[in-house]
Amino acid sequence: KMYDQMCELPPPCLDMHKKMVYLESIQPSMNMKRVRQCHTIACAQFGFLNVDVWMDHCKFEINVGDSDRVSEIYWRARKNLSPQQFETFLSEFSLVRTIPHIDTDPDSPENS
């Protein structure tokens, strides 16, 4: 409930969405609808400037969600990102589709 209220308050905060995704995903019984909602809101608020929000959403659906939703996310990213940003997205997306479990974040602990 509090997350829903905070989403409506300016200014938007990407870290809040990321933290909520994390908190929801570590629950014993992950609420897929809730995690998906957090990703969707992050994309709506930051998807014009941030390739990572789209990639995070795609990786969630590919790895633990519904892979059929990935094409919808792809087309929304294409519509919202600049051509240059979309090229970056496309490179990362192609890699993730080839090796679904890969994390494209160079700062990720798994990539150390």
Bond from prior residue into 28 cis (ω within 30 degrees of 0): no
Two tokens, residue 60 = 């969630």
CB 82 within 8 A of CB 49: no
Radius of gyration of the chain (CA): 14
Q: What is the pLDDT of residues 11-59, one digit of tens each?
A: 999 999 999 999 999 999 999 999 999 999 999 999 999 999 999 999 9
More confident residue, 50 or 67: 50
Q: What is the pLDDT of residues 35-44, one digit of tens each?
A: 999 999 999 9
Q: How far apart are CA 19 and CA 16, in angstroms?
A: 5
pLDDT at 111 over 80: no
More confident residue, 1 or 10: 10
Q: Is 13 exposed, middle or buried (0-12, 13-18, 19+ CB in 10 A)?
A: middle
